[in-house]
Structure 1
């Protein structure tokens, strides 16, 4: 058990949000590990429960937790002082934006269509644009090949998975030939489905942008001082061994990136949200999209992006957060080490608990999907987050607009979960 624990701690630094132990229903346990090292498969389990009375920051946990525990945050809609929904939302959104300090990226970017073709019954567009944050951004747009007129839209957010070399490819399929690491990735998290394709087939225009700093948005080694490259370069990056080496290098780069962003006066979720909003601008600006019927969703890091974009951008009329819901308390005491720097905005927790960021969208339709054996969170805090969101929607008289479900298994967005999520989109966007 000690060796298993040490291996988990080692892998957590590599995989960030991507660690999971998939536990199937009815006790059929299948442990799957991303392709960091084939020899590591089936050699560990993620602890799904916390040691009683222990904290990941030792005895300091009691003090740190006391800063939040037992206190309803200042801008929580659960406080009696907030009687007007509109007044609460205006002030709560304002303070959240102040804490995120998202950069201003200007207007809708100019889009270039790099490729256009049909695959698996879908019209596929590979597009690109340039942002003030630097570099070329790429995305994939999917819709039924025979579609006529305007369709509702979906912003499909890819996961983190500890693999920054990949982005949009994690949840799309545009050819019979797939990168071997993406074959493994989609089997592990998505029951071998490219979920962006699957929801597009239901009659949506689906936008899948690379997130900062993944894939086309990744930090290039040539742009980093030589002494920090660990002997790596950008040659032949798509080779599995080079992609794995880059992913391993990028895990340490998170500390550096977070410190630099904080020093620049912004935050990682702030940059995420700003770039995702530009992608949303592009989607809503398309002449084949019903801009007043746009949803968003994603697993893990995509779920986290759903929390911020879904909570703060009213253009998102329906949101599905998968595998990223808990409380700040859980992160303080038990689970921050399983998560990326991309989650945290200093100064925000005293104002709103984590689920209340997503709750800023009330009364707009909102779904949360949790997995019971997801070791990235404590089960009791996932339930606590559900209670918090339920109370927000109940107070707003919008109980029917919120749904939370718990599924057997580990960190995943499997076929059953996808079907439920797509039905939710259909209910509110069609």
Structure 2
């Protein structure tokens, strides 16, 4: 899979240093590898990812529980060998009566000093926990510290995304269910737990947990990580502190936990998909269009294998009025309408940026027309600086998906303007 090269740092639209687009955004190439049995990843792997600004994904398993590490290569400061093996087990009596829950899990890390980089860890449970959130704890010699509360993503099974910092202590996850009880006399709350940021002091001194450069965040605009072959739509990367500790740099920069810069005045702020309930009893309408007209002026750069799928006029879907329901996003209508019209569309989830990444539409993918090409979206004339899964639609919105051959410049995405 390929992704856009690094965009200007000012480019807010997508999301990673190895830029992809999420609108006026960018992102990077993604490498996914199975974690070796001993869990050790060589220093050279991180050096290469840093050089190429690639996103690294390592997938492992502990018993029946799967986990995935995500590293933003562009943010790596000092590459080093890492043991990413994680032992995941029942917490047993470790938390005693301090935290009572029907599900309490312990994460034991084999690496004690995680490299300085924007990193996150996704835990996939084999069953459905049936709750909406978990609390994350760290146990010290003196107390049990509640670091933060994180949403639990539920489909057929449950999963949780944990932003990580460089301090690797054992962590505990407890389901906030009907049996949940936290003894205030035994649990120390983090000073920043009320804000939703991880609370450890050590973390507050460490680099942001999972963020990305402004360019990367821009890639998130299209709602997809730009690590795939589908490009400019990029991942919606965001800075999130680590469950094992927050990050002061994220707060200082004003970026949210998914590494998204503040939206320009008057523009809609991102809304997290897991926080929205769709209401099919309330229907509205918006306008949707899809085009790749920019390729017409760059046919000499178009991948020869893709010339046969190129529409003569560059229009894949003419502007049309489409129905959507309360709580739906830009991604939701793109998925539904392309299926309805039998238009090929490929995407994948990017937990690190809490959005889906649009890899290709109508069999046209990122880099199919040069190294700066890919998909971007705009709403009411604006290219958002976060992913399409996080853009909540309003009645009357005008949504345009456009293929760019020049990192947004040829479709009117002005990086500087997007920051105003």
- The alignment's TM-score, normalised by the length of structure 1, stands at 0.26
More strand by share: 2
* TM-score for the superposition, normalised by structure 2: 0.27
Tell me which protein shows more helix as a share of its residues.
1
